[in-house]
Amino acid sequence: MDPLEEEFVAFVRARQRALVRAAFLICGDHHVAQDLVQEALTKLAHHWERVRTGSPEGFVRRIVYRDAVSRWRKVGRERPHDIRDDVLTRVHDAKHGQDPVESWISGADMRDALAQLPPRQRAVLVLRYYEDQSEVQIADYLGISTGTVKSQAHRALVTMGGLVANLAPATPGEGDER
């Protein structure tokens, strides 16, 4: 294997799991997430020599996001709930282990709330709070301005606060009888 191939394989091994988790949060379906990442990595392989010294992860994330939006537009936002999805999620989690953030994110309330957000807002929240990316990185990944990242995050958090009651942060003084 030549050095470029070895470098690409190392990148895929190091980042594939995190990319699939983020794609899952963006699209809400493990199988679709795996397909999105696989397709993005295939595109990355074709451009590896050019992209490898820049931001290959940004390249992949941008493709995943745009392909997820394209799929969403084609299929629509409605996705019938199937009990098998919950079973598959539990089997996947048990097989691969789950960190505390994944446990929180994988809750039904959180998944349902994320699914109700427009794709860009969902992507911004996933990248910012789950993947811990900076506003500048998110803007680069999604091809939008930093101001748009901030406004989309704000709108998404307001919406999420209304959808999931326990997400609303308690502010000092509210309900505090000290």
Tokens matching residue 155: 């709108």
How far apart CA 151 and CA 33 sit, in angstroms, is: 26
- Sequence spans of domains, the chain: 3-74+99-165
pLDDT: is 49 or 162 the higher one? 49
Average pLDDT over residues 36-63: 94
Q: pLDDT (tens digit, 9 = 90+) per residue, 55-111?
A: 899 899 999 998 988 887 776 555 544 434 444 444 445 445 555 445 545 566 777
Top CATH class of 3-74+99-165 equals: mainly alpha
| 135-142 vs 146-163: helix crossing angle, rounded to 10 | 100
What pLDDT shows up at residue 115? 83
Q: Which residue has the tokens 């390249």?
A: 59
Is the per-residue pLDDT at 138 higher than 60?
yes
Which of the four pLDDT bands, split at 50, 70 and 90, describes residue 48?
very high
